[in-house]
Amino acid sequence: MRYALKFAYDGTAFDGYARQPDHTTIEGAIIHTMKKEGIVKDIEGNFYPASRTDKGVSALGNVLVIETDVDERGIIPALNSDLKDIVFYGMAKVDEDFKPRYAYQRWYRYFMLNKGGYDADMLSRISDTFLGEHEFKHFSKTDKKMDKTKLAIDEISIHEENGFIIFDLKARRFLWQMIRRLVSTILSVYDGKLELEKIVSALEGNDEKLAIYPVPPEGLILMDIDHRLEYDYTKYPIDLFDKGIEKALTKAMVLSELNNGSEG
């Protein structure tokens, strides 16, 4: 039988997503456990990722598909008993030729500490420029052919919460580093470092010299991938990342204390 599995992970706990020898990667850890637990013995033809996130990027709702003949009730418990910083919590039976690369929609969220005093409404107005179908080759790190870099963004919404600017972006697919480069572009336009006219021209496919760097990956979460599947959800362990939150907040507090410096 073939199943889609939904899972979350702390991307900062790994050296990246895709399998690599001598690296602790998300895919590597999952495949190791799949084999160890006898869920998928031979990966070839029985294991399909939906989205390989960049190094440092986290996910709440990434998806992968497996072909297996073990009892479906044992799959999620077996995976979760062995994995650290990754949790599986949803499963859907799928057709035997289903592959998860193609999706109806992907939803990403980016968190940025608002120390620059950005106005979310103003950022939002700038971001409207990117809505709909455009040529995005200038806004990604890609070597794909031109026809693959044309795509449509369905939604961009930006709001402020708890001192963070939160960017939500939805599209069928995104190019490599595209979200982090779009966020960076929106900020650069706001800061007056990039002209909106040049952005519009680049989106029309014209060659423009734009210096666009991606914002750091640690603030990015793949929130969900919509394959129009009906998932069975298991209880999500809402305190799973408590220890990490505690550590991060303590680190922020300690560094703030160091920042206060000393007058002797």
Q: Using CB under 8 A as the criterion, which residues of the chain lie in contact with a copy of itself when the complex forms?
A: 6, 8-10, 12, 58, 60-61, 89-90, 109, 111-113, 115, 162, 164, 216, 218-219, 221, 224, 231, 233, 236-242, 244-264
Give the residues across from 221 on adjacent strands. 58, 109
Long-range Cβ pairs for the range 202-205 (8 Å, 24+):
202/135, 202/138, 202/139, 203/129, 203/130, 203/134, 203/135, 203/136, 203/138, 204/134, 204/135, 205/135, 205/146
Neighbours of 191 (CB within 10 A): 10
Least spacing, CB of residue 256 vs a copy of itself, in Å = 6
Specify whether 226 is catalytic.
no
Least spacing, CB of residue 54 vs a copy of itself, in Å = 14
Residue with the two structure tokens 């057709």: 95
Least spacing, CB of residue 162 vs a copy of itself, in Å = 7
Nearer to a copy of itself, 81 or 259 (CB): 259
For 175, what's the count of Cα atoms within 13 Å in the CB-facing half-sphere?
23
User: Which entry of 15, 54, 82, 168 is annotated as an active-site residue?
Assistant: 54
Nearer to a copy of itself, 97 or 239 (CB): 239
Nearer to a copy of itself, 72 or 242 (CB): 242
Least spacing, CB of residue 237 vs a copy of itself, in Å = 8
Give the residues across from 7 on adjacent strands. 62, 88
Q: Catalytic positions, please?
A: 54
